[in-house]
Structure 1
Amino acid sequence: MTAKSNAEVTKELFVPAYLSDTESEKISGKSVSAWKDALRRFLTNKGAMLSMIILTVIILLALIGPHIFGYDIDNQDVSRANLPPKIEGLTWLPAFSGYENGVDIYKEKNISKNYWFGTDQFGRDLWTRTWKGTQISLIIALIATLADVLIGVVYGGVSGYFGGAVDNALQRILEVIAGIPSLVWIILLILIMQPGLITITIAILATSWLSMARIVRGEMLKLKNQEFVLASRTLGAGDGRIIFKHLIPNSLGMIIINTMFSVPNAIFFEAFLSFIGLGIRQPQASLGSLINDGYQMLQIHPYQTLYPGIIISLLLICFNIMGDGLRDAFDPKLRR
């Protein structure tokens, strides 16, 4: 130091603090559980929250959208075929003006009603068909989630907990199922059943839970020899109680994360099958079949592919971003 302080340090400056034993042991900070801390970190993730809001809006539109204009999914009228999108009040936007190649198609065909997403080559309302197709994608997502939880978690939990001969037998069965590609499953099912939602559902139930089973098995192998499991077994808990009351709840973070990543894979799988003609058939609609129908007229009427493509892209992107947000929220290395 360049200058000395004039303050003199004396004993009178120091006063002892007298604290009772109860005061010294009191926790000054608020205790936060791992779940609350994960929720707090998820809520502060702007990307994950924005994705959740977008998904909520898409789900609401999928539920109420097909009923707004009162059209049926297969309500055909060739006189209104290939109408471009038109929304009253947004006609100043080229995408919703009702014009195509500088011509007012609605005025030329003497159409008084507006079609927000336009119509297809058979005159069917694309707004209704798009949101009906979104319902199919969301149903597939729900089926994949249930398959992960009801089949993958139970299968992996039993395999990892019991180990030994049980684990070997279950893992060999899993390897046989995983060795058959999903597309082959679909082709085999089509030989027996008609293409459609039921066929896709069976294919998803047959294969989508495999990765979840492997992850849960790994968590069981890691947790089953820890002290809290030994204490529970010492107190008389059975194997079922230990698996479903102790081990699986302690693996819940990993289960949620893996489920969020399996959902977009199932949605894309259904869209791919419908696009190549092995999925949803006419007159039903899915996002994949709508993209396939619009692809045939892409150069003439690109809007028929645009809106289903935007919605399926938003579904895949938002589910993946939410999965990343959940992974960061449940990662103990990021706890503060």
Structure 2
Amino acid sequence: MATVNQEVSKELFAPADIDHSSSERIAGESVSAWRDSLRRYVKSVPAMVSTIIIALTIVLSIVGPHFFGYGIDDQNINLQNMPPKIPGLTWIPAFDGKYQGVDVYAQKHIKKAYWFGTDALGRDIWTRTWSGTRISLIIALVATLVDIFIGVTYGSISGYIGGKTDTIMQRIIEIIAGIPSLVWIILLILIMQPGLFAITVAITATSWIGMARLIRGEMMKLKNQEFVLASRTLGAKNSRIIFRHLIPNSLGMIIINTMFSIPTAIFFEAFLSFIGLGIRRPQASLGSMINEGFRVLMIYPYQILFPGVIISLLLICFNLMGDGLRDAFDPKLRR
């Protein structure tokens, strides 16, 4: 086997053109923490489906009560206990307008179609259901705003200042939390006229306590960080440090806890209305409608079906949204 001898010389080599800055170049797209959290939230299928359902529910709670032009307390004894009927969906047994195999609409010569049926007083369940949903969402919104403004502010001041101030503020919370919520409701109903305002005040009277305790712990953890020390060294006031530095750094936790407090407020309002301590007639509430439908459950089950399904969807979807936000904002859960 022949070998080839070749003299090695410098002409056989050429200098490599190497850009040393290329190793420091960011290859991927630079995104902020909020944009990255939003991107991971969008990838969560349960959270996105829940968001769509909640958005549709909000829209229907606004336009639904005006869809057919009925009032929430418009009564017609001749149309009492009409079964649900939706034109175009009559092939589905639940929406064919029949009760025990009899077409009630043809029997009574009724041309109108009640999509959710009517109750014992001939009131349109569709109108009352979406009106009750709107009340539940309003109460949940108010409870959320109270959580944000009172709970966050109270917990931030208590945790950041500490010392005797923190001790006094925490003893006040313990006194308020020591009284059961049902007792608060009964006392407020005795003092105030029962209705939307009374139940809203009763729910918001104690709903902010959990948020305040959570934010207090977060403030105690963050107030000794370097960025707080630097801000204090530069002469920043306590109010500026709390509202410009500490609260924004806790915003992810605030959003997550807020999303979990919404279904709690909705369920509490429905429970109080169900036992007769909440929304009173002629106003409609999901809880009061479930109470009315429960009385005729064995005869007309559809009267409890629709408000029960809607309140169940709201509770499930808000909890799934909270899970999605927790996964999106928690850095420990990032893949």
The TM-score range, normalised by the shorter chain, is: over 0.9
> Which residue pairs with 1:120 in the alignment?
119
- Show the counterpart of 1:242: 241
Match of 2:181 in 1: 182
Q: Which residue of 1 aligns with 2:4?
A: none
Match of 2:69 in 1: 70
Query: What CA distance in whole angstroms lies between the structure 2 residues aligned with 1:25 and 1:43?
Result: 30
Provide, for residues 219-277 of structure 1, a one-character-per-residue CA deviation record: whole Å limited to 9, x for no partner: 10000110111111122211111100000000000000000000000000000000000
- Indicate the residue corresponding to 2:281 in structure 1: 282
- TM-score scaled by structure 1? 0.94
Q: Does 1:270 align with 2:269?
A: yes
Which residues of structure 2 form unaligned runs of 5+?
Answer: 1-7
Aligned letter for 2:198?
A: T
Distance 1:30 1:237 in 2: 35
Aligned to 1:18: 18
Contact 1:62–1:134 under 8 Å retained in 2: yes
- Contact 1:85–1:97 (CA<8 Å) still a contact in 2? yes
Contact 1:160/1:216 (<8 A) preserved: yes
Give the direction of change, closer, same or farther, for the CA distance of 1:13–1:282 in structure 2 (3 Å limit).
farther
Q: Mean Cα displacement is larger for which, 177-186 or 32-41?
A: 32-41
Deviations along 1:55-89, one digit per CA (max 9) or x if unpaired, are 01111000001111000111001000000001111
* Residue 14 to residue 196, structure 1, CA distance change in 2 (3 Å): farther
AA aligned opposite 2:323: D
* RMSD of aligned Cα (Å): 1.7
Partner in structure 2 of residue 5 of structure 1: none
Structure-2 change in CA distance of 1:126 and 1:18 (3 Å): same
Equivalent residue number for residue 325 of structure 1 = 324
Matches within 5 A, 1:182-201: 182-201=181-200
Structure 2 residue identity aligned to 1:19: D
5+ residue gaps, structure 1 = 1-9
The 5 A counterparts of 1:158-173 are 158-173=157-172
TM-score by length of structure 2 reads: 0.94
Query: Cα distance, 1:188 vs. partner?
Result: 1.0
CA shift, 1:195, in A, is 2.1
What is the distance in 2 between the residues matched to 1:184 and 1:319? 27
Contact 2:297 2:303 in 1 (8 A): yes
Aligned length: 326
**Partner Cα separation in structure 2 for residue 13 and residue 324 of structure 1:** 61
Matched residue, 2:80: 81
Q: CA deviation at 1:29?
A: 3.0
| 1:119 aligned partner, one-letter code | T
What is the correspondence of 1:133-148 to structure 2 with a 5 Å cutoff? 133-148=132-147
Is 1:59 the counterpart of 2:54 in the alignment? no
How far 1:194 moved relative to its partner? Answer: 2.5
Distance in 1 of aligned mates of 2:14 and 2:29: 30
* Separation (CA, whole Å) in 1 of partners of 2:251 and 2:34: 10
Give the Cα separation in 2 of the matches to 1:299 and 1:335.
49
Partner Cα distance (2:15, 2:49) in 1: 54
SS at match of 2:299: coil
Q: State, as a whole percentage, how many aligned pairs show the same letter.
A: 69
The answer as to whether partners of 1:84 and 1:119 remain within 8 angstroms in 2 is: yes
Give CA-to-partner distance per residue, 1:191-220, whole Å, 9 cap, x none. Answer: 112321111111122100000000100110
Once residues 163 and 251 of structure 2 are traced to their aligned partners in structure 1, the CA distance between those partners, rounded to angstroms, is 24
Residue-by-residue CA offset, 1:141-196 (whole Å, 9 max, x unaligned)? 10111011011000000000100011001000001001111111001111112321
**Alpha-carbon distance in 1 for matches of 2:143, 2:330:** 24
Hey, what does 2:5 align to over in structure 1?
none
- Give the residue type in structure 1 aligned to 2:285: S
Distance 1:14 1:142, change over 3 A: farther
Structure 2 equivalent of residue 212 of structure 1: 211
C-alpha distance in structure 1 between counterparts of 2:187 and 2:267, whole Å: 20
Equivalent position amino acid for 2:95 in 1: F
- Over residues 93-146 of structure 1, what are the superposed CA-to-partner deviations in whole Å (9 max), with x where a residue is unaligned? 111100000111111222111100000000000000000000011001101110
3-state DSSP of counterpart to 1:89: coil
**Equivalents in 2 of 1:15, 1:80: separation in Å?**
94
Paired residues of 1:37 and 1:335 also in contact (CA < 8 A):
no
Look up the equivalent residue of 2:79 and give its one-letter code.
R
